[in-house]
Structure 1
Amino acid sequence: MAETEKNAGRNHDTLNLYIDAAGVMLLFLDKQGIIREINRKGCEILGYDEDEILDKKFTDIFLPQAKKDQNQLAFLNYIAESNGTSGSPEFDITTKNGETRTILWQKSIIKGRNEEITGIIISGEDITAIKKLESLLELIRFAFDHSPDQIYFTDNKGEIVYSNSKALESFGIEPGSPVKTTISEINPEISGEAWGKLWSEIKAKGKIRFESVHMYRDGTQYPADTIAHLITHEGIEYACMISRDISEQKKSEDLLRRNEAYLQTLISTIPDLIWLKDKNCSYLACNRMFERFLGSKESEIIGKTDYDFVEREIAEFFHENDRRAIEAGKPTINEEWITFADDGNRAYLETIRMPMYNPDGTLMGVLGIGRDITHRKEMEDMLRNSETQLKKLNEDLKIIIDNAPAMIFYKDNRNNYIKANPAGARAFGLSTGEIEGKNGSELFPKFADMYYMNDLQVINSGKPRFGKIESFPSPTMENLWIRTDEIPLKEQNGHVYGILLFISDITEQKRNEDALKEVNRKLNLLSSITRHDILNQITGAAGYLEIIGLDHEIPEGTKTEEYLQKISKIIETIKRQITFTGYYKDLGEQAPIWFDVRVIIGKVSANLDLDGIELENDINDLEVFADPLFEKVIYNLIDNAIKHGKTLTQISFSIEKRPKEILIICTDNGTGVPDWAKEKIFKREYYQNSGLGLFLSGEILGITGLKIIENGHFGEGARFEIHVPDGKFRISSQLSDQISE
């Protein structure tokens, strides 16, 4: 008995050694689930000492708190199954430090002599690491199948043994179907022989990368970038191929190459000088214009510095400007003269230097752009000279205006006096400071509205008005006579923003004119009396000659008869000349005025008997500055045509614009004027009893600088031209358009 107990104890100790040596967790639970025994591995997994575990209920301590009731029920059901071993379920446990671990469980039921269940032995294998690895493999498989790249494995013969979803889609194979294709079928550029060489390269290098063409099942080809890795699985070598459709990348690369070509063309052809230096001032690139500057090709310039091409002083100047740009860390601008080495031409450049940086922020070099601004500089120099000259001119003009005897005023279009010269201020008994900046209603309350109405006529029409003569009360209440010229001031768009007034004191001139008029009046009275007396005497003499003829006392055919006839003709000539002078007694007596030519022609023709002759008047909106007897000139032209045209049926008036003058043309379809008489008809001699009329017409026109000629063709009709110089005529804008056409 003692020996038996001794052997039993020895067996128990041996059993404990085996249990502690086990590589899995072993638990002995009684019928209530109380832990009665646990091995060393179990304590290690759970993180507790043995005495912290024994006599504790397993489900209360080691099952996770989350879903604890559900976990307890599942675990208890597993334990309560009566069969000896029942599968290998997985349950999570919670360790002492709160870590959750996954355990693969197995159980054995302990029964007594009466087959009564007395307890249970549970073994648990910690498979936490395996589960994590499985999860990781699941993630890898998901990433593999959902990768946007084509991933496939080939053997050494080029047969594809496995593909991900993207590759299957590319090969035209339904998911789940066996992959039966080769590299040559998806890549027409790789034949069997080519694959052999490619496989050798993969084996030699372990990893290669290449671009080729892939083909879809429908025959569509596309560029692909492929990375091939050599791998070994269960002693068999495979190539793991990762291919990517680079169609968009190729398009982008093509677009980039085209843009680079465009940019290179632009840089090469742009008239600016462009260059790029590294941080040591060695040239990295340049354009054609810069090649002209240094007289060398880009390939000869790259890698060299300014010292290799220009004088040392100039090279140091360039380097100093580069250094300033680098120190500033931003674009700098300077101007400099350069000489082109290829043709010696000098140019003035505006140069921009800009520091250039690498992607990591380190300095790469300096970019330079030089623009030829020689013309601009010349224009600026000319502008400065013009400004100097203008300043001098303004100073001279101010001196002239300030010392001019005429009154000069500059007003805006709201009747405000902007500027006045001293003469103008003195005329009103004020200083220039008292006038400038004031409104006309403040300065001259009694006359402001009247003056402003005159100004508005010029402002609204946009046309100047010259020679307005009016009386003007001076500050001393002396009545003065003034002559006013009003000129509108216009912006480039034609808007009138003000008016310039030149006012001359013509009081003395007016007095002299009045005195001259009085003298002329008296002379005209005397000449009128004298003409009357002479005409009476001539009329008496003519009467006596007529009586002599009626008495028949003078024999016919005698010299006496001949002399008496000549005396009679002379008397008639004297009578006609004296009568003619009466018509022009007022020549030059009155001041010239502006005539509307169309109105004058209409007025004269209405007072003449045209007797069926057609008169055309094609003149509109033309005014000429002439002596008040200008109407007599038009009368003579029409009257002479009627009297001497013989076959006349038509008279026409028109105009012709020429440089610096305008012509008033009078033509008819009569016999015309012989060439030998074209000049004589304007002299003081008779030509068909019309000489004095055309002579005096020329004199009337000559008072204001106008002249008349005849240049028609004899037999075709007469053509008289009145030449009116610039400043002696006014035309409307509409007429200006007509005559310019």
Structure 2
Amino acid sequence: MDSLKNRSMGSRLFEIILHPDDLQKVLQHHERMKSAKDGEIIEAEYRMKHANGTYRVLRSRDIPFRRDSLGGVTQILGHAEDITDRKHMEDALRDSERRFALFMEKLPAAMYLKDLDGHVVFSNRFLNELFGWTDPVGKSTFDLLPVDVAQRMADDDRKAFDQGVMSTVEAVTDIHGLKRYFKTTKFSVPDSGGASLMGGISLDITEQKQTEEELRQSEEKYRTLLFSTGIGVGYWSPDGILLYINEISLKRLNGIKEDFIGKHIRDLIKHDDAEKYLERIHNAAISPQPSEYEDYVTLPTGKSWYLTIYARIVDSSGTVIGIQVLSIDITERKKAELALDVARKKLKMLNTITSHDIQNSAFSLSAYLSLAKKEFNDKKVHEYLDKETDLVQNIIQCLNVTKEFQELGTKPPIWQNVELVFCLAISHLDFGTISQHISLDGLEVYADPLLEKAFLHMMQNTLAQGVRVTEVSISCNEIEGGIRIIIEDNGVGVPGEEKEHIFERGYGKCGIPGLFLVSEILAITGITIQETGEPGKGARFEITVPKDVYRLAGNS
């Protein structure tokens, strides 16, 4: 560029090809050239329009070339270099550095660089805030951290330099005095000058470590609990390989872990039993609910009864990863049950013999009373004999009721269809003139096997005490916490003063038992009954069944 500045700046061409934003800058550059010394090089950057219409960045280096008689610069000599591509690269580099710096500042992990002597070259905001550092660059690890921590880190740094990369878990105390755990990866970073730097990234795993510790403590408590309660534990793969066995089980089997861990159930138990237990494992793997079994087992320590519970274990995706088996020694309980069963049978036999003898005596007494009436014609004597006969009949009827209910609670509850049981109950009675309305939606209840007897005696009461009854209905409706069965008739109902007493022992006649025994049968599985009818408009019995002892057809 060798034109005189004033003439150049005054030309229309120069104004056209220069970027408008750079025109003033170029004018100022030429103004500086007026006072430039000989040999002084003055640089300037500006944008100039290319023939294709785009602007290119030029860098010029100008020197005074010719002066007038007064020493003023009349011409300048310059060289302009197109630095557009380099400027783009520099801009891209600055953007990259800015993004990297922003990334380092926002990264929720500690990042740093150190030199071979352990001096900090770079540390991000997370690391600085962790320890409360304000200006760590140039300081060594020993300047910034306690000696024991710094020494441990320095040792790890040397290993990383030697190995190229290494990982470790570091425990440190932050500025607030809290213990923190970090998963740290250290690696050597070759520098452009040939030396190496130490790079490191540390991820905060404090919560993970705390969770692991809580889990470890929980498992320890679980093991202690199982050991103290004498529960054997086995953990099997879904295909029958033993993965874990606790000390209680080993003691029962008189062995050590190496005898069992990693072996298939067929290698541990004789064939027939192995197939039975393997089937249980397979069934547990496909069932969301635990399954229970009672077995009489022969072990090296002797024969015992065990309650065994099989439950599948699934991972977060729902995949079955194992079957946990808990084994509880119930030998003493089974012995007690056996002794109780023997005692119950003996009591039943004694009951039967006693009732039979009393009934025979009552029949004989009734016959003698009948003969006595024939021997005496005294009216007063006949009144006494009639009362005695009634008392004997009451004794006989009470014995019959006792015989019916002597099985109460002796057999385990079972699931029963309420509609079927109710129909069986009224089939024993004369219901020919009474219409029945049944709406139970397939309701089943878990109740004592004497449920049919309970319905039978309720309906006997209806026939005996429900004067002018022509209609009986039974229905149900679900309520909070269970379901309510409603039995209604259109008789005279229960007097208000008697409602609280009809379920008491001794209420009613023995020949037509009161509702005390009905209440007792239902109570075996937590079912309750009450009378809520309006006197004069019929009886209404509400039977409340808890949610865990009923089910509806299709929902079982």
AA in 2 matched with 1:377 = K
Question: Do the aligned partners of residues 538 and 714 (structure 1) sit closer, same or farther apart at CA in structure 2, a change above 3 Å counting?
Answer: same
Alignment check: 8 A CA contact 2:394 2:510 kept: no
Alignment check: 8 A CA contact 2:44 2:59 kept: yes
The answer to whether structure 1 residue 239 and structure 2 residue 93 are counterparts is: no
Give distance in 2, aligned partners of 1:329 and 1:417: 40
> Following superposition of structure 1 onto structure 2, how do residues 312-711 of structure 1 map, counting pairs within 5 Å?
313-314=147-148, 317=151, 320-321=154-155, 324=158, 327-328=161-162, 330-341=164-175, 343-363=176-196, 365-385=197-217, 439=266, 443=270, 487-492=309-314, 493=318, 513=341, 517=345, 520-521=348-349, 523-524=351-352, 526-528=354-356, 530-531=358-359, 533-534=361-362, 537-538=365-366, 573-574=394-395, 576-588=397-409, 590-598=410-418, 601=421, 603-604=423-424, 607=427, 609=431, 611-618=434-441, 624=446, 626-636=447-457, 650-653=473-476, 658=481, 663=482, 665-668=484-487, 680-686=501-507, 692-701=513-522, 705-710=524-529
Alignment check: 8 A CA contact 1:491 1:497 kept: yes
AA in 2 matched with 1:665 = R
Which residue of structure 1 aligns with residue 71 of structure 2?
Answer: none
AA in 2 matched with 1:292 = E
Give distance in 2, aligned partners of 1:182 and 1:293: 61
Question: Do the aligned partners of residues 618 and 584 (structure 1) sit closer, same or farther apart at CA in structure 2, a change above 3 Å counting?
Answer: same
Give distance in 2, aligned partners of 1:410 and 1:291: 47
> Following superposition of structure 1 onto structure 2, how do residues 31-50 of structure 1 map, counting pairs within 5 Å?
none
Give distance in 2, aligned partners of 1:450 and 1:382: 37
Return the TM-score normalized by structure 1: 0.52
Give distance in 2, aligned partners of 1:205 and 1:677: 129
Higher relative contact order (CA 8 A, sep 6+): 2
- What is the Cα deviation at residue 699 of structure 1? 3.5
- What is the Cα deviation at residue 217 of structure 1? 7.5
AA in 2 matched with 1:185 = I
Question: Do the aligned partners of residues 654 and 730 (structure 1) sit closer, same or farther apart at CA in structure 2, a change above 3 Å counting?
Answer: closer
Alignment check: 8 A CA contact 1:273 1:287 kept: yes
> SS of the residue aligned with 1:735?
coil
Alignment check: 8 A CA contact 2:472 2:488 kept: yes
The answer to whether structure 1 residue 735 and structure 2 residue 549 are counterparts is: no
Alignment RMSD: 5.9
- What is the Cα deviation at residue 684 of structure 1? 0.8
- What is the Cα deviation at residue 592 of structure 1? 1.8
Question: Do the aligned partners of residues 242 and 381 (structure 1) sit closer, same or farther apart at CA in structure 2, a change above 3 Å counting?
Answer: same
Which residue of structure 2 aligns with residue 156 of structure 1?
Answer: 4
Question: Do the aligned partners of residues 305 and 585 (structure 1) sit closer, same or farther apart at CA in structure 2, a change above 3 Å counting?
Answer: closer
Alignment check: 8 A CA contact 1:647 1:669 kept: no
Give distance in 2, aligned partners of 1:455 and 1:322: 48
Asked which structure has the greater CA Rg, the reply is: 1
Alignment check: 8 A CA contact 1:277 1:366 kept: yes
> SS of the residue aligned with 2:408?
coil
Alignment check: 8 A CA contact 1:668 1:718 kept: yes
Question: Do the aligned partners of residues 340 and 647 (structure 1) sit closer, same or farther apart at CA in structure 2, a change above 3 Å counting?
Answer: farther
Identical columns (%): 18
Deviation per residue, 1:159-199 (Å, 9 max, x gap): 89xxxxxxxxxxxxxxxxxxx97332111222583463376
- What is the Cα deviation at residue 666 of structure 1? 1.8
Give distance in 2, aligned partners of 1:289 and 1:654: 63
- What is the Cα deviation at residue 516 of structure 1? 5.5
AA in 2 matched with 1:685 = G
Give distance in 2, aligned partners of 1:673 and 1:502: 51
Deviation per residue, 1:399-425 (Å, 9 max, x gap): 766xxxxxx999998899999979999
- What is the Cα deviation at residue 383 of structure 1? 4.8
> SS of the residue aligned with 1:290?
helix
The answer to whether structure 1 residue 182 and structure 2 residue 17 are counterparts is: no
- What is the Cα deviation at residue 223 of structure 1? 5.8
Q: 5+ residue gaps in structure 2?
A: 67-73
- What is the Cα deviation at residue 225 of structure 1? 3.9
Give distance in 1, aligned partners of 2:274 and 2:156: 68
Give distance in 2, aligned partners of 1:525 and 1:490: 52
Give distance in 1, aligned partners of 2:177 and 2:277: 66
Deviation per residue, 1:280-337 (Å, 9 max, x gap): 5444443333333443434xx44444565555x3585277347525742634444444
Give distance in 1, aligned partners of 2:205 and 2:501: 66
The answer to whether structure 1 residue 196 and structure 2 residue 30 are counterparts is: yes
- What is the Cα deviation at residue 253 of structure 1? 5.8
Give distance in 2, aligned partners of 1:448 and 1:320: 57
Give distance in 2, aligned partners of 1:583 and 1:647: 28
> SS of the residue aligned with 2:515?
helix
Alignment check: 8 A CA contact 2:122 2:137 kept: yes
AA in 2 matched with 1:243 = D
How many correspondences in the alignment?
515
Alignment check: 8 A CA contact 2:184 2:201 kept: yes
AA in 2 matched with 1:374 = T
Give distance in 2, aligned partners of 1:306 and 1:710: 79
The answer to whether structure 1 residue 720 and structure 2 residue 524 are counterparts is: no
Return the TM-score normalized by structure 2: 0.65
Give distance in 2, aligned partners of 1:393 and 1:502: 13
Question: Do the aligned partners of residues 416 and 292 (structure 1) sit closer, same or farther apart at CA in structure 2, a change above 3 Å counting?
Answer: closer
Question: Do the aligned partners of residues 514 and 540 (structure 1) sit closer, same or farther apart at CA in structure 2, a change above 3 Å counting?
Answer: same
Deviation per residue, 1:560-603 (Å, 9 max, x gap): 99989977875665454344224224334x53253334575465
Question: Do the aligned partners of residues 409 and 640 (structure 1) sit closer, same or farther apart at CA in structure 2, a change above 3 Å counting?
Answer: farther
> SS of the residue aligned with 2:452?
helix
> SS of the residue aligned with 1:706?
coil
